[in-house]
């Protein structure tokens, strides 16, 4: 993002705003009633909400970035594919990158908001609506990418470097989806905007399983990679991983109350 959002550190202005505007100078006549200050618990909740709210949107943007990188890596691989099966996927993947660039602009506008605007947004229904829409769009994007690959079934005939890069990008998407799950989970049950908390361990277990599978592929020799990249099984493997991640994001979006 052009203006990267705050991850977990509050700016001085944010702390001042959240903690009630800082120290208030004693003014006025003796005995004048002072404004009621928020309780320590309320102050802490708003602080956590600001941090957690930023973290969720940051995590969404990280997923967006890795999905875009994945689409680019598939487009680049398809232009060097030895066999015709993968060559038609380049244009759809380039279109996907363009769509994700538009999402980046939306997130950039949110990143430029003041801390007070963020607090107001977090307390408004539009926050959960926006997050739900973005996660759903990312899930749909991955599902569309998998569908594009399903229409290009066959031996891709990729070079080792480009084929390896595609799998590496799949792993990056897996990692950022896991970070998004953690960000939503850490936002706390007090928000009441996610109605299937029990799904988090299931998501994480599936991601851990995927990580083990991808690690096994990463440990193959260049010779083994060269053989695998010329087999239809490589194509099916990449398609399955992308579809699994897409379905996971779609399911998460459906569980967000907005």
In a domain, 17, yes or no: no
Dist. CA 162–CA 75, nearest whole Å: 10
In a domain, 26, yes or no: no
In a domain, 131, yes or no: yes
Both tokens of residue 95? 């279109």
Tally of domains in the chain: 1
Buried b (16+ CB within 10 A) or exposed e, 180-199: bbbbbbebeeebebbeeeeb
In a domain, 2, yes or no: no
Whether pTM exceeds 0.85: no
Is 58:132 a contact under the CB 8 Å cutoff?
no
Q: What is the pLDDT of residues 165-188, one digit of tens each?
A: 999 999 999 999 999 999 988 876
Q: What is the pLDDT of residues 9-31, one digit of tens each?
A: 444 344 333 434 444 444 444 45
Dist. CA 215–CA 171, nearest whole Å: 9
In a domain, 246, yes or no: yes
When mean pLDDT is compared over 73-82, 162-171, 187-196, the highest value belongs to 162-171
- For 161, the domain range is 37-255
List alpha helices for the chain, DSSP H.
12-18, 40-79, 90-111, 115-122, 125-150, 160-186, 199-218, 222-228, 232-255
Is the torsion defined by CA of 90, 91, 96, 97 positive or negative?
Answer: positive
In a domain, 9, yes or no: no
pLDDT score recorded for residue 193: 62
Is 52:98 a contact under the CB 8 Å cutoff?
no
Mean pLDDT of the chain: 80
In a domain, 235, yes or no: yes
In a domain, 20, yes or no: no
């Amino acid at each position: 993002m052009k203006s990267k959002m705050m991850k977990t550190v509050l700016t001085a202005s944010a702390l001042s705003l959240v903690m009630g505007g800082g120290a208030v100078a004693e003014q006025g006549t003796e005995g004048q009633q002072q404004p009621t200050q928020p309780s320590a618990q309320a102050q802490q909740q708003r602080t956590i909400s600001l941090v957690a709210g930023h973290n969720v949107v940051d995590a969404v943007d990280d997923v967006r970035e890795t999905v875009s990188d994945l689409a680019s890596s598939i487009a680049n691989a398809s232009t060097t594919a030895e066999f015709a099966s993968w060559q038609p996927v380049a244009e759809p993947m380039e279109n996907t990158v363009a769509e994700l660039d538009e999402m980046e602009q939306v997130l950039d506008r949110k990143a430029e908001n003041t801390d007070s605007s963020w607090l107001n947004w977090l307390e408004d229904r539009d926050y959960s609506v926006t997050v739900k829409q973005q996660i759903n769009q990312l899930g749909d994007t991955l599902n569309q990418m998998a569908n594009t690959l399903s229409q290009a079934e066959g031996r891709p005939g990729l070079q080792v470097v480009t084929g390896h890069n595609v799998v590496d990008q799949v792993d990056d998407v897996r990692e950022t989806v896991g970070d998004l799950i953690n960000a939503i989970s850490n936002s706390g049950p007090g928000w009441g905007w996610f109605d299937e908390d029990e799904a988090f361990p299931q998501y994480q277990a599936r991601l851990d399983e995927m990580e083990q599978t991808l690690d096994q592929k990463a440990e193959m020799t260049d010779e083994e990679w060269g053989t695998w990249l010329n087999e239809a099984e490589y194509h099916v493997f990449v398609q399955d991983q992308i579809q699994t991640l897409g379905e996971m994001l779609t399911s998460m979006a459906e569980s967000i109350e907005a």
